[in-house]
Structures are given as structure tokens and as C-alpha cells.
Amino acid sequence: VSALVTERRFAQRLRECLEEERLSDRRYQLQRMPGGRVALPVLEEKLSQLCLPPEMPSSRTTFLLQDPVPSRAARRRTPAQRLRDELRLLLGASWSEELERDVPHAWQRHGDLVLLSEDSFKAAPWERLGSALWDTVASALGARRVARRGRVMPDGMYTFDVTRCMFSMGNITEKLRVASLPCSGEVVVDLYAGIGYFTLPFLVHAGAAFVHACEWNSHAVEALHRTLVLNGVRDRCHIHSRDCRQLQLRDVADRVNLGLIPSSEEGWPVACRVLKKDTGGVLHIHHSVESPPAPAPPQSAVLPAERGSPETASPGGEAQHSAEDSGEETPGARLRPEWQRWAEATATQLQGLLAEL
């Protein structure tokens, strides 16, 4: 905290000047210094505007208070006032009434996480602040993490404890693709079910007859159970609350979902084992593949379609539909060579695993 230092006899006058010009940092108390001087906390970013009367021999040099003491007014502030004051300081001259209206007055607290409403901080100037905005909000509200409420999926309703489970938005394209697959009558095994990110679209939209959902996080299992009940599909899902590598199922699945990144490789043996022995099935394998930023050359191959619509994964983890799928030619639709190499190596590995069964 910055402060202006003056002799004690000028302290009151200097304080009045600072107050008049709204340069006083009211969050902190003035502090006595050695040698009978006094330090007055100031808003340093506006200090150039300060006009001192000629009789005031105060130096313009600012002093940094190491242990500033919060003022009585600051101690009395509600969290909402504290949030507004801190943001006003952060924005300095760009503060406006429009922004003030955009600052939330209420939020939910979940442990060390503060959950804001969907319509908070929508004005453009907030965007420009980047992480400084969220750092300030967290510190003003005494939280370690800040989240903003939003719609997570158009495929159904999810319920979960945001402090203990994750909801991954990164693969929304893949979730929508799964929702559009024709899985009527199929048995699906979802090895890394989480709170039901894929289990739910398989059951609610793709028409799967039954899903075995495996998940080892007990909080996620509880949320998954509630999500299934909420969507009226609890009777078509068995939750295996355990390490999926120890799953005892075999020879049951038409389709296996392996939604774990960066790699679900440890789940491949069990995925092969649960596939129906006579008819086989489809494995949805998620994997992070490193790609250079350059766009794929136009002559690269397009992966042959699996049953349903083909898709590939972008470096950001977002899935992209192929040109065959949409009928349009898009740059992201072409398979990159590194993806092709990964797919071929994976196919070889899976052949080995299936041969062992």
C-alpha cells in the first residue's frame, strides 16, 4: 500500500486535501512513523492529480507501508462493498456506472469456491482485465477459486457438487455427436463416466438400451446417480463404483466409451474384454495427440468412417466433424498426419489385445 509521509502537524491538513481530491486510500488507517512523522495511505495511480497548498511541505515521494492496518470503515464493509471497492481500484479511471451495475451483489459459496451468477461481469471492459479480474474477485471475497454459472449441456440436466467433480466443456462437440448416434438397442460401457457426461446422451438421446457406467470418485458417483434419476433413466444404468481396470464384466458391450485424457490407454484391455465376442463393437477412445499449430496439408487422408459419423480431435481437445459428416469442406475436417499415425498405432495395439482374448 502506498502512502504519503508528512510531519505530524501537517497530517490533518494533508488528509483533508487527499479526501477532497478523492486520493485517500480509505481501506487503510494512517500510520505513525519514527521521527514523529505520519504516513497517509493514498491511491498512487491518481497521485499525479494532487495539488497541495504551497504551505504544505509534503514530499511527493510515496512510501510503501509494509503492514497496512485496515481502516474501521474497511472492516465494516460487506463483502459486496469490498468487491465493488476493489474492482473500482483495479479499473481506476475506466470505472463507470455501467460497470458498477455489472458487479454481482450475491453469489454462492462452496468451500473455497465462489459461484457467480451467469449474468455477472458481462460488460466488455471486464474481458480486457483477464486473470487480474478473477484474482481481485477471489481476494475480495476471500475465496481461492471463482466460477461463473452457465449452461453446461443442451442434452439433459446435470446435478453435481462443483467443488468435488468436474464438468468438462472441452469436448462438447463430441457430446453432441454422441447424442446424435443411432444406438437403439445397444449396451454401452462408459469406463470413465464422471457425472454422466456421456452416459446421459447415450441413454437420453442416442437410445442406448443400457449403460454400464464405471466411476471411482464417490462424489461423482453420487452426482451421476442423481443425474440419472433427474432424467428418468436410472433403471437403464448400472453404476460400477470402482476402478474400471478391475471391472468384472465381459462380453456384454456393443460400444465402449473411454473418456479420459490425456490417455485412456490403461482402460484398453478392459474395453476389449467387455466388447461382445461374437459381434464386436465400437470403441470411443479419447486421447491427447500433440499437433504443431500449422494447418494440415490439403492432400492428407480422411479417416474411414466408423459406424455413425466420423470425427477427429483438435489439439484443444475439441472434436471436429469430418467433411463427410456435414457435407462441407472445412480445414479442420482433414486428418492431420500425427492423428493418422496415432490411430494406426492404436489399431495395432488393439488388435494385439483382442488376439489375447
Question: What residues make contact with ligand SAM under the rule CB under 6 A?
Answer: 166, 168, 171, 192, 194, 197-198, 214-217, 220, 243-245, 259-260
Helix pair 79-91, 131-141: axis angle to 10 deg: 150
Q: Nearer Cβ to ligand SAM, position 108 or 288?
A: 288
In contact, 147 and 169? CB cutoff 8 Å: no
Q: How far is the CB of 172 from ligand SAM (least distance, A)?
A: 9
347's CB contacts (< 8 A; 6+ apart) are none
Query: Cis link prior to 262 (omega < 30° from 0)?
Result: yes
Max CA-CA distance within the chain?
97
Residues forming beta bridges with residue 63, ordered by sequence position: 3
Nearest-approach distance from CB 215 to ligand SAM, in angstroms:
5
Question: Which parts of the chain fold into alpha helices (H)?
Answer: 8-20, 72-76, 79-91, 97-102, 124-129, 131-141, 172-180, 199-204, 218-230, 268-274, 323-326, 337-356
Least spacing, CB of residue 11 vs ligand SAM, in Å: 59
**In terms of CB distance, is 180 or 217 closer to ligand SAM?**
217
Q: Which is nearer to ligand SAM, 264 or 322 (CB)?
A: 264
Backbone angles phi, psi at 32, to 5 degrees: -80, 140
Nearest distance in Å: CB 188, ligand SAM: 12
Using DSSP's 3-state secondary structure scheme, residue 41 falls into: strand
Smallest distance from the beta carbon of 292 to ligand SAM, in angstroms? Answer: 25
Minimal distance in Å, beta carbon 155 to ligand SAM?
Answer: 12
Nearer to ligand SAM, 211 or 296 (CB): 211
| Minimal CB distance residue for ligand SAM | 259
Please, what is the minimum distance in Å from the beta carbon of residue 238 to ligand SAM? 14
Distance CA 242, CA 214 (A): 7
* Closer by beta carbon to ligand SAM, 173 or else 217: 217
Q: For residues 195 and 201, give the distance between their C-alpha atoms in angstroms, rounded to a whole number.
A: 12
- With respect to ligand SAM, which residue has the nearer C-beta, 215 or 222? 215
List 37's β-bridge partners, or say none. 7, 33
Of the pair 80, 252, the CB lying nearest ligand SAM is at: 252
Q: How far apart are CA 180 and CA 165, in angstroms?
A: 26
